[in-house]
Amino acid sequence: MPVQKPVQKPTDGYHDHPVRSYVLTGGRAHPTRNTLRPETLLCAVDDGRELPLGAGRHERALLETCRGTLSLAELAAYLRLPASLVAVLVSDLIDAGYLAVRSGGAHDLPGIDLLEEVLDGLRNF
């Protein structure tokens, strides 16, 4: 009789959620904002308002985690939720005024001189 190996649990850190994503988003698969990308920086708005009593635990965890500036991808990783689900929840919280999108200012962009040098270097390559 062959010996059966014990079933091992996955060690990659993946955990299935008992409630499916479409239930948590009210059946919506897309955020209300098309500009949300994994690298979008988000920050909780600290205006003293509390989330409504009907807000779910994921919305509360998202706001608590986002007290500093984090990207959408980082939020998804910290909460162990799919980025597509977090994008829908984040868009709802932005629409309600609980989250704000942070953008890098013009000072983060390279100057035209540097861009021309890079372009010249690529052409000469």
pLDDT at residue 9 tops 60: no
**Average confidence (pLDDT) over 64-91:** 87
Does residue 2 belong to any structural domain of this protein?
no
Q: Which stretch of 38-52, 61-75, 99-113 has the lowest confidence by average pLDDT?
A: 99-113
What's the 3-state SS for the chain? CCCCCCCCCCCCCCCCCCCCHHHHCCCCCCCCCCCCCCCCEEEECCCCCCCCCCCCHHHHHHHHHCCCCEEHHHHHHHHCCCHHHHHHHHHHHHHCCCEEEECCCHHHCCCHHHHHHHHHHHHHC
> Would residue 5 count as lying in a domain?
no
Residue 10 covered by a domain: no
57 has pLDDT over 70 = yes
Angle between helices 83-95 and 72-79 (to 10 degrees): 120
Q: What is the mean pLDDT of residues 16-35?
A: 60
- Of the two residues 29 and 53, the one the predictor is more confident about is 53
Residue 89: inside a domain, yes or no?
yes
Domain of 101? 38-105
